[in-house]
């Protein structure tokens, strides 16, 4: 059930016993629908039953819909979420607060440790990007300062030596993130799911290809596309219906 809060710019979605905050008039309702309200194999981050991750990286956590979904699917997993936008992070913390095994961090991941000024789209709130100019593009926009950190540094500091599932959707910085992911962790990951936003995604897929089976959903002339990457070692565990469901 979705209801607008009369005294706030935020609304709430009641889902699976939790109240989740979101910003009406932005892409937040669409994200909630795609991730949480589409059921079963139609859900945005549906994964086959044979995927049983113990450690999950949620890179580009936004308001936390994907973390809530993964926690429901894999209640015993440890989930690490990363979201650089300060306003979005405040909502993320509210939405995942109290979930066992979940830790979220208010920084993005990239090729170098740095603080950057980024254009944050006030209308969409899915338009966080470290790429391109700060030109208005006809929509209200503000500039915010965010922290970006190397993934290998973060893994070392948190003591993460193995990752089973990676979800990534960080508005064009995906190649930068993968550039600092050690081979020994990447090559033993069970599953990767997410979205690429430009041609650099194909460079990442080329790196994945020796160790993963790849499934893409891309339309001609569109830069962004969704993908699944299944570790070759997991392939024989998948059913025909699982394979058919991945990109539908």
* Digit-coded pLDDT (tens) for 132-184: 433 444 555 678 899 999 999 999 999 999 999 999 998 889 999 999 999 99
pLDDT band at 74 (very low <50, low <70, confident <90, very high): very high
CATH superfamily of 30-245: Vaccinia Virus protein VP39 (3.40.50.150)
**Cα(108)–Cα(85) distance, rounded to whole angstroms?**
8
Residue 30 has pLDDT above 50, yes or no: yes
pTM to 2 decimal places: 0.88
pLDDT band at 123 (very low <50, low <70, confident <90, very high): very low
Q: Contact at 8 Å (CB) between 207 and 178?
A: yes
Residue 245 has pLDDT above 80, yes or no: no
**Cα(224)–Cα(221) distance, rounded to whole angstroms?**
9
Arithmetic mean of pLDDT over the chain:
88
Residues 108-122, mean pLDDT to the nearest whole number: 83
Residue 1 has pLDDT above 90, yes or no: no
| Close Cβ partners of 14 (under 8 Å, ≥ 6 residues apart) | 1, 2, 3, 20
- Position 141 scores a pLDDT of 63
Nearest residue to 181 via CA among 206, 204, 201: 204
Q: Contact at 8 Å (CB) between 212 and 166?
A: no
């Amino acid at each position: 059930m979705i209801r607008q809060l009369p005294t706030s710019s935020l609304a709430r979605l009641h889902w699976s016993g939790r109240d989740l905050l979101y910003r009406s008039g932005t892409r937040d309702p669409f994200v909630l629908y795609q991730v949480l309200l589409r059921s079963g194999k139609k859900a945005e981050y549906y994964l086959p039953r044979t995927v049983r991750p113990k450690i999950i990286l949620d890179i580009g956590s936004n308001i936390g819909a994907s973390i809530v979904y993964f926690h429901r699917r894999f209640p015993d997993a440890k989930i690490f979420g990363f979201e650089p936008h300060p306003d979005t992070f405040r909502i993320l913390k509210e939405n995942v607060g109290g979930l066992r095994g979940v830790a979220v961090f208010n920084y993005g991941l990239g090729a170098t440790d740095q603080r950057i000024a980024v254009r944050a789209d006030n209308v969409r709130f899915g338009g966080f990007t470290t790429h391109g100019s700060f030109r208005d593009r006809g929509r209200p926009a503000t500039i915010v300062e965010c922290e970006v950190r190397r993934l290998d540094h973060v893994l070392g500091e948190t003591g993460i030596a193995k990752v089973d599932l990676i979800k990534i959707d960080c508005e064009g910085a995906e190649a930068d993130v993968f550039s600092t992911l050690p081979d020994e962790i990447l090559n033993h990951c069970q599953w990767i799911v997410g979205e690429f936003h430009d041609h650099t995604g194909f460079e990442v897929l080329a790196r994945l290809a020796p160790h993963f089976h790849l499934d893409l959903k891309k339309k001609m002339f569109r830069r962004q596309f969704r993908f699944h990457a299944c570790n070759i070692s997991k392939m024989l565990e998948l059913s025909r219906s699982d394979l058919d469901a991945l990109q539908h």
